[in-house]
A and B are shown apart, each in its own frame.
Chain A
Amino acid sequence: MMALRERALVSLQSVPSLPKHVRIQYDAVRQAFAVLSPEKIFWPNEISLDILRRCDGQSTVDHIIADLASDYEADRKEVAADVIAFLQEWSDKLLVRL
């Protein structure tokens, strides 16, 4: 029996969350936030961290983009392109669930 899983594609209606095996944690020794996953540890920059923190299983991608555009006082279109590309990359690595 094969599991019929499919690659998830990011849309504005997607509601991203962090899967159970991924967590964001502050590391006091290195004074930075780490993303812990089964074999790898990531050190996201400020913007990546701001996206990941909003992957709360409740906010839509559309909402996350609007929120970030307002926080960074940035062009919504540019933010949208960056956020969608980032989330697709992290979803493809199974680090974000859509």
Chain B
Amino acid sequence: MSEPILPPIGMLAELTHRCPLQCPYCSNPLELLKANRELDTQTWLDLFSQAADLGVLQVHLSGGEPTLRRDLEQLIAGLSARGVYTNLITAGINIAERRIEAFVQAGLDHLQLSFQGARQATTDRMGNHSGSHEKKLETARRARAAGLPLTINAPIYRHNIEEVPEFIDLALSLGAERLEIANVQYAGWALANRNALMPERAAVDRQMEIVAAAQERLAGIINIDFVPPDYFAVYPKPCMGGWARDAFMVTPDGTVLPCHAAQTIPSLRFERFGPNSLAEIWTDSAALNAFRGTKWMQEPCRSCERRELDWGGCRCQAMTIAGDAAATDPVCIKSPIHARMAMLSGETGRTAKPASADEAFIHRQIGIMTERA
């Protein structure tokens, strides 16, 4: 590796895989970790402290459902004491009375709340949790009352893509500063449910128009960030800003990964925090170094003028679809198998079905897929 290793700036901490919802689009791995595999409070605090020393400025506390960790206040306080910007990513279900205020007291900077639909029926059905929509609305109100800035996260798939205008109204009515309209990334449970979740091309096009118009109309009122759907794209996204370039994530048992799905690449072994310091993992991990920078690239990436814009795209998607983690992300129009994306998105294969068609999902649940030993 002759390219310099940058200090990491952002960290996603998956504190737990436990979750009250069972969303079929979840980016967690199919082999979910049980509570007894989670790092304890002190280990998370040590990890956060080492992260701050290394240069991490922002930590996203996620899961599973991070509020299921009873020590979340302590973890927030530890980060806050180091001046790290904290963002809590929550489903907003069953958060005990006064707890949001306790997070604020501990120094929480921002809360991101997911809605599976803009309509009650969609949210409750996708999370397989009756009453969840109403609980989320209540969490949003409590967050605003506690003075927390709010982002509404709207994961988009076939069953709610027509609700995008309602998501915008919902975010405005809840007083959110930011709305994230994020088309689902097909990894983890979302990959297992890809056929059911994949929207139609016409709906994707309509969505893009609606979002672009809203971004313009609502400038200065609400920030709308848009994550476009990979399978309908021409160029890949710079996944995580480039493999282990300036961000990383940590699983509930302390495994340090460049992204959610990296463990699906069978040739790579990722280290756990604890036996190794974070600094050692960040600089020395063979798995993190495997796809850093541009040296690993093959053609057409190697000589592509976009190679430092998208860093070759997503390695896991290359693995899943091209069968080679070092291949060009097939999302890219320059990929020799780009046409496969159209096939997988159903453009040529699947017959049109109404969005309300009740397709079978595998709902996310701990233990229904075998846990890794």
Do the two chains bind? Answer: yes
Set B7, B173, B177: member contacting A94, Cβ < 8 A: B177
Please provide the chain A residues from 1 to 54 with a CB less than 8 Å away from any CB of chain B in the complex: 1-3, 5-8, 19-21, 23, 25, 27, 29-30, 34, 36, 38-39, 41
Interface string of B48-89 (1 = CB under 8 A from A): 000000110110000000000000000000000001010100
Q: What's the nearest-Cβ distance from chain A to residue B278, in Å? A: 13
Q: A1-B173, A29-B55 are in contact. List 13 more A-B contacts (CB 8 A).
A: A2-B173, A7-B219, A8-B220, A25-B83, A29-B7, A30-B7, A34-B57, A36-B85, A38-B112, A41-B58, A92-B220, A94-B220, A94-B223
Query: Chain B residues near A27 (CB, 8 Å)?
Result: 55, 57
Q: What's the nearest-Cβ distance from chain A to residue B295, in Å? A: 24
In the bound complex, CA of A3 to CA of B112 (Å): 19
Which A residues lie at the B interface, using CB under 8 A? 1-3, 5-8, 19-21, 23, 25, 27, 29-30, 34, 36, 38-39, 41, 91-94
Please provide the chain B residues from 142 to 187 with a CB less than 8 Å away from any CB of chain A in the complex: 147, 149, 151, 169, 172-173, 175, 177-178, 180
User: Is B9 in contact with chain A by the CB < 8 A criterion?
Assistant: yes
Interface size class of B (residues with CB under 8 A): 20 to 34
In contact, A92 and B85 (Cβ under 8 angstroms): no
In contact, A7 and B221 (Cβ under 8 angstroms): yes
In contact, A21 and B221 (Cβ under 8 angstroms): no
Residue from the set A19, A23, A39 with the largest chain B CB neighbour count within 10 Å: A39
In contact, B151 and A3 (Cβ under 8 angstroms): no
Query: Chain B residues near A8 (CB, 8 Å)?
Result: 220
User: Is B109 in contact with chain A by the CB < 8 A criterion?
Assistant: yes
The 6 nearest A-B residue pairs measured at CB? A7-B220, A21-B149, A29-B55, A36-B85, A92-B220, A38-B110
In the bound complex, CA of A62 to CA of B37 (Å): 58
Q: What's the nearest-Cβ distance from chain B to residue A10, in Å? A: 10
Set B57, B175, B220: member contacting A91, Cβ < 8 A: B220
Residue from the set A2, A38, A41, A93 with the largest chain B CB neighbour count within 10 Å: A38
* A-B contact list, 16 entries, CB within 8 Å: A5-B172, A6-B221, A19-B149, A21-B110, A21-B149, A27-B55, A30-B55, A38-B87, A38-B149, A39-B151, A39-B225, A41-B9, A41-B57, A92-B219, A94-B220, A94-B223
Q: What's the nearest-Cβ distance from chain A to residue B227, in Å? A: 11
Query: Chain A residues near B225 (CB, 8 Å)?
Result: 39
Q: What's the nearest-Cβ distance from chain A to residue B118, in Å? A: 14
Q: What's the nearest-Cβ distance from chain A to residue B130, in Å? A: 24
Q: What's the nearest-Cβ distance from chain A to residue B154, in Å? A: 14
Please provide the chain B residues from 202 to 227 with a CB less than 8 Å away from any CB of chain A in the complex: 219-223, 225
In the bound complex, CA of A41 to CA of B10 (Å): 9
Query: Chain A residues near B87 (CB, 8 Å)?
Result: 38-39
In the bound complex, CA of A95 to CA of B110 (Å): 14
In the bound complex, CA of A36 to CA of B225 (Å): 17
Q: What's the nearest-Cβ distance from chain B to residue A24, in Å? A: 11
Query: Chain B residues near A3 (CB, 8 Å)?
Result: 172-173, 175
In the bound complex, CA of A38 to CA of B177 (Å): 10
| Beta-carbon nearest neighbor of B84 in chain A | A36
Q: What's the nearest-Cβ distance from chain A to residue B247, in Å? A: 11
In the bound complex, CA of A56 to CA of B157 (Å): 42
In the bound complex, CA of A7 to CA of B57 (Å): 30
